[in-house]
Structure 1
Amino acid sequence: MAKESFDKEIQFLRMLSLTSGAYNRQQYAKRLGISVHTFDKTQRKLRDIRQSLSDQHTDSEMGSEINELVRFQYGESAEPLLLFLFRAKSMKETEVERLSVILHTLQDSALTAMELLDACCADLPEELALPDEKTIRSDLKYLEEVGVIRKEPGGRPYRYSLQQDVLTQLTPEEQLELYDFVDMMANTQVPSVQGYLLRDSMKKVIKASYPQEEATEPYIYKYHYYSRILDEAHLYTLLGAIRQRRRVQFQYFSPKKPSSYSSQNTNPKFEREAGGSSNRIIPIEVVYDHQYGRWYVIGYQSRRRFVKFRMEGITQLEELQPIEEEHMLSLKKEWADISRYSWLVDTGRTVTVQARFFHPGDGQRNFILDRVRLQGQWGTITPETDHSFLYEIQVNGTTEIKPWLRSFGSSCEILAPSKLREEMIEEWKEIAAYYEPVREDVQLPDHDETE
């Protein structure tokens, strides 16, 4: 799948999931910066991909359009609907066929690269190009790096065998316990995509011993942050660029803009200016926001210096030339100093925030204190009375810490700075106004009248 096409489908699925299928075709197309024809074509392509990769849905479900599935089944499934796109992106068709032959051939015994080459030439479909020895050795190196196969002891020619200890050394009960652990971690930790793929692979393994569906679904998780999964498409590219000290370039669509994607017209007659802004940065750090389920990338530009981008707006990501190691180390050190007091990625003026937290009540576990200890980062906690404690922290601006403080409701009182206290007062007044009666002169009927 081409990189631009994958970006288009990421934004397509993001828009469908965030709106729960509420827009019509024209509205979706306008928001995505594509034509209605392209919208229909992309939807058909996604439906075909999902149908070819999924074995968990009935024929009637597979006939449904993607937007209908998002709209009407949003709360009925614990499966992350959008994960199928990663399965489609993983490899080219020729790679899938070739690796399948290699793994199937290694089921019975350890073989050399030349023996596997002969097997591929004999078993691959006629319409696919036959591989050469270099391609097979590259495939074996890849499979060895990801832990699927291992090189047997001995000299040349090297023999390879399947790395299947999870099948041969674990009992069915242990396999099921491992599956439960992977399932829990994939649904509660970040990043998640590789965990989901591992979980699905293990599910196929344990079905031989536990064919009933209940065995693989002891917990039902409801996934809320679809964007988090989609953003992982760029995560490993950016992490690799940071490790290799490479610049990257991309088109960026701000969340505040009315469009989130722009099609690339190859016909000069219809060429028009692409939406979004073109950016070239040295990526320094990737940050995840647990509060809203968002990924951020921190980068450096010579003109604007340190810049921040929400990963959901990144398209057409490409790696460029590397930079010197000394330069990268100096940039990381400078960013560490600037972001020392950033609650997340804010680089505003450093202020001291003071808040009073109240215990939930006598005889109850103090979950407020537990949560502040867990999430309060480098802030300090000072006991005040039997029913309250003080919390103090230095942060770069109050924008990012405010939602966290507000989430405690009446259990938190802002003491300083005064501006933040006033902002919170106004916000709570606005919230309280939402719950006031629309009409104060409404008379409810008496009980006798209702009879």
Structure 2
Amino acid sequence: MDNQLYRLLKLITLIQAYPGIRAKRLAAECEVTERTIYRDIDRLAQITTISKGRRGEGYRFVGQFALYPLDLTEEEIAGLQAVAAWVETAHRPLPPGWKTAYQKVMAAHAKEKKVNQGFLERVGDVVRLGNPAWAPETPNVFPELLQAVIHRRPVKALYHSQSRDQTGWRRIDPYYLIPREHRFYVIGYCHTRKEFRTFRVSRFLELRVLDGEYEKRPFDLNEYMKYTWSIERGASLIRFVVKFSPKVARYVKEEELFLRPQIRELPDGSLWFQVVVNGASEFLRWLWTYGPDVEILEPKQYRDHMVGILRQWLEKYERAQQG
């Protein structure tokens, strides 16, 4: 291969692997003068944009120019870097191709990491999250959380617990991002509580992705969410039997539910519906969306509860009319 062509390819590899690399180091790596490096950089600048940066800063590519990336994990890259560091300190002789091969791998990985980060940021930009009606606008931490879930990175977050009305810092290993009822939730291991917890994304006030991968603990998402109607996990199982009117039966049958109920169509077109849940509140809120077209048959406790709520509503509206 022509020496100049070889040197240009090596420059591409070095600049991609070490963004901000200076002319002095490039000259040493290529075994030429800095003057030659300046001429080579001018040639490369004819096919792609190279940024010099401010005084004291080195060269880096601008835009999407890159060698083809390799599919290596962070653990594999860390292993390669450890070997390279050991080689430098031990002064052990290695085959001539080792150094150039290592530089090519690091160059490709650096570009792949940048492209992946850009993709995750674009995903975070197009997935729009709402904000609580009466709370200050919270930062969009979705891109960082998505990155942390995909790459198994721990996060440090300032989180507001609505049930306790308390705000505090937590270290979380995020396992899953789950959409529920126009909101996103994170399920992960909370080092503060020493257990797996569910976190609502809009309640993160600050979030930072930490270095390194977390060690994944045994965790079965299906078991964790078993008998959960939507996202709130209860402590005791409740068997509900309800009946939907013929007017809404077809809409109920096409509902996308997280639990699989037992459904039976009755002769008059109404729908018999049975499900076991580990908490009543979310299921009842769903039933209320169907208004008078749904009737709770069992358990009697919740049938009576619904009657009591309807009486309160009726009394409130009657007082308003009388006033």
Question: What TM-score do you get using the length of structure 2 for normalisation?
Answer: 0.57
Q: CA RMSD in A?
A: 3.9
Query: 208, 215, 230: which is aligned to 1:344?
Result: 230
Shift of 1:410: 0.5
CA distance in structure 1 between the partners assigned to 2:317 and 2:150 by the alignment: 52
Work out whether 1:307 is the aligned partner of 2:197. yes
CA distance in structure 2 between the partners assigned to 1:390 and 1:310 by the alignment: 33
Q: Which residue of 2 aligns with 1:295?
A: 184
Work out whether 1:286 is the aligned partner of 2:177. yes
Q: Which residue of 1 aligns with 2:150?
A: 243
Structure whose alpha-carbon radius of gyration is higher: 2
CA distance in structure 2 between the partners assigned to 1:141 and 1:429 by the alignment: 69
Query: 238, 243, 253: which is aligned to 1:356?
Result: 243
Work out whether 1:114 is the aligned partner of 2:42. no
SS in 2 for 1:115: coil
Q: Which residue of 2 aligns with 1:409?
A: 291
Work out whether 1:427 is the aligned partner of 2:313. no
Written as runs of structure 1 = structure 2, the 5 A alignment for 1:5-404 is 114-115=45-46, 132-133=58-59, 135-136=60-61, 139-141=64-66, 193-194=125-126, 225-226=130-131, 233-255=140-162, 276-290=167-181, 293-301=182-190, 303-320=193-210, 321-324=212-215, 327-328=216-217, 330-331=218-219, 333=220, 335-348=221-234, 349-360=236-247, 367-377=248-258, 378-404=260-286
**Conserved in 2, the CA contact under 8 Å of 1:250 and 1:316?**
yes
**Conserved in 2, the CA contact under 8 Å of 1:244 and 1:322?**
yes
Shift of 1:413: 0.5
**Conserved in 2, the CA contact under 8 Å of 1:297 and 1:311?**
yes
Structure 1 438/226 Cα, relative in aligned 2: closer, same or farther at 3 Å?
closer
Q: Which residue of 2 aligns with 1:94?
A: none
Deviations 1:375-418 (A, max 9, x none): 34411210123231101112221121211111000000112223
Shift of 1:277: 0.9
CA distance in structure 1 between the partners assigned to 2:55 and 2:312 by the alignment: 66
CA distance in structure 2 between the partners assigned to 1:417 and 1:286 by the alignment: 33
Shift of 1:242: 1.9
Gaps of 5+ in 1: 1-111, 146-190, 197-223, 259-274, 361-366, 443-451
1:351 counterpart letter in structure 2: I
2:266 counterpart letter in structure 1: E
SS in 2 for 1:385: coil
CA distance in structure 1 between the partners assigned to 2:139 and 2:300 by the alignment: 39
Shift of 1:113: 5.5
**Conserved in 2, the CA contact under 8 Å of 1:250 and 1:314?**
yes
Question: What TM-score do you get using the length of structure 1 for normalisation?
Answer: 0.42
Q: Which residue of 2 aligns with 1:39?
A: none
Structure 1 120/279 Cα, relative in aligned 2: closer, same or farther at 3 Å?
closer
Between structures 1 and 2, the one with greater helix share:
1
Deviations 1:99-125 (A, max 9, x none): xxxxxxxxxxxxx9533566766xx9x
1:355 counterpart letter in structure 2: V
**Conserved in 2, the CA contact under 8 Å of 1:231 and 1:295?**
no
Structure 1 ranges of 4+ moved more than 6 A? 128-131
CA distance in structure 1 between the partners assigned to 2:237 and 2:187 by the alignment: 19
**Conserved in 1, the CA contact under 8 Å of 2:51 and 2:62?**
no
CA distance in structure 1 between the partners assigned to 2:317 and 2:306 by the alignment: 17
Q: Which residue of 2 aligns with 1:178?
A: none
Say how many residue pairs are matched.
Answer: 224
Deviations 1:41-93 (A, max 9, x none): xxxxxxxxxxxxxxxxxxxxxxxxxxxxxxxxxxxxxxxxxxxxxxxxxxxxx
SS in 2 for 1:343: coil
Shift of 1:236: 2.8
Shift of 1:299: 1.7
2:231 counterpart letter in structure 1: V
Shift of 1:419: 2.8
CA distance in structure 2 between the partners assigned to 1:373 and 1:338 by the alignment: 25
Deviations 1:233-258 (A, max 9, x none): 22232222222222211111234677
Structure 1 192/429 Cα, relative in aligned 2: closer, same or farther at 3 Å?
farther
Shift of 1:323: 2.3
Shift of 1:339: 0.9
Structure 1 372/421 Cα, relative in aligned 2: closer, same or farther at 3 Å?
farther
Shift of 1:279: 0.9
**Conserved in 1, the CA contact under 8 Å of 2:239 and 2:277?**
yes
**Conserved in 2, the CA contact under 8 Å of 1:357 and 1:411?**
yes
**Conserved in 1, the CA contact under 8 Å of 2:249 and 2:271?**
no
